[in-house]
């Protein structure tokens, strides 16, 4: 198991605002800042990040790569993995709690609201 500290996974507020289009030097409204902080609190309270990495043989990986036939048939990986000396599978999750508790919907709703607020601020309409 690979432990991922939540503090390293959650985005910094400045990065969120930049991704939302808030121009550098502009400050979000107090409401936007509060909504983002609430979304981050929900993330910290509900996320249970965990990863696993396990070695697999080329034959095992071939079966996994084929999967249920829904993977694209023509990918670079198709020509790479048969030549690999070592193969590992990696999986990551934020845990069931973040989706089962409704927290994901709350975070999405808060972020969408924050997006609208940040957009209004960056456009000078807030």
Q: Quick: pLDDT tens for 86-110.
A: 999 888 888 888 776 566 666 667 6
What's the predicted TM-score (pTM) here?
Answer: 0.58
Instruction: Give the CA count within 13 Å in the CB-facing half-sphere of 54.
Output: 8
11 near 93, Cβ under 8 Å?
no
34-54 pLDDT, tens digit each: 888 888 888 888 888 999 899
Q: How far apart are CA 125 and CA 115, in angstroms?
A: 13
Q: Is the pLDDT of residue 73 over 90?
A: no
């Amino acid at each position: 198991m690979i432990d991922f500290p939540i503090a390293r996974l959650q985005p910094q507020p400045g990065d969120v605002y930049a991704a939302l289009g808030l121009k550098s030097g502009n400050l979000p409204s107090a409401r936007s800042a509060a909504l983002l902080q609430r979304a981050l609190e929900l993330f910290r309270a509900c996320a249970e990040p965990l990863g696993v990495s396990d070695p697999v043989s080329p034959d095992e990986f071939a079966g996994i790569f084929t999967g249920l036939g829904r993977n694209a048939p023509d990918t670079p990986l198709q020509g790479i993995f048969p030549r690999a000396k070592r193969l590992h599978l990696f999986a990551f999750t934020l845990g069931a709690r973040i989706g089962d508790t409704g927290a994901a919907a709350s975070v999405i709703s808060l972020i969408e609201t924050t997006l609208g607020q940040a957009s209004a601020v960056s456009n000078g309409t807030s």
